[in-house]
């Protein structure tokens, strides 16, 4: 059972039971997996099926991760290379990053 973190307009759903954020497009699942350590969310993997690449879907999911973290007072560790690159392109999100991960 999925539980939305909020009522996202972009279709991204926070599936807390599976520790991931999900976006279904054309019957295919895109996702960002995380692990919690106290109030820190380690985002460990992002995945978009090859048929859906190039549409900005991973960016939408990661933006939802950061919005959720901001709204709930969590910090994010970008353990996934895509999430690290996304965070570097979005310096306005630096305050959501866990200490030592700001760039």
Ordered by start, the domain boundaries in the chain are 13-96
Length of the chain: 103
Distance CA 86, CA 28 (A): 22
Q: Residues of the chain with pLDDT > 70: what percent?
A: 89
Distance CA 50, CA 82 (A): 15
Q: Where are the beta strands (DSSP E) in the chain?
A: 13-15, 20-25, 28-37, 40-47, 75-78
Q: Given this model, what pLDDT does residue 4 score?
A: 41
Please, which pLDDT band fits residue 103 given cuts at 50, 70 and 90?
low
pLDDT tops 90 at residue 33: yes
Q: Can you name the CATH fold of 13-96?
A: Aminopeptidase (3.40.630)
Mean of pLDDT over the chain: 90
pTM of the entire predicted model:
0.88
């Amino acid at each position: 059972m999925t539980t939305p973190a909020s009522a996202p307009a972009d279709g991204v759903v926070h599936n807390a039971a599976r520790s991931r954020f999900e976006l279904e497009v054309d019957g295919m699942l895109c996702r960002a997996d995380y692990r919690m350590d106290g109030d820190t969310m380690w985002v460990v993997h992002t995945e978009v099926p090859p048929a859906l690449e190039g549409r900005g879907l991973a960016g939408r999911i990661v933006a939802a991760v950061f919005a959720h973290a901001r709204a709930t007072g969590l910090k994010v560790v970008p353990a996934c290379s895509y999430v690290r690159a996304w965070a570097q392109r979005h310096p306005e999100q630096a305050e959501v990053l866990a200490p030592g991960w700001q760039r």
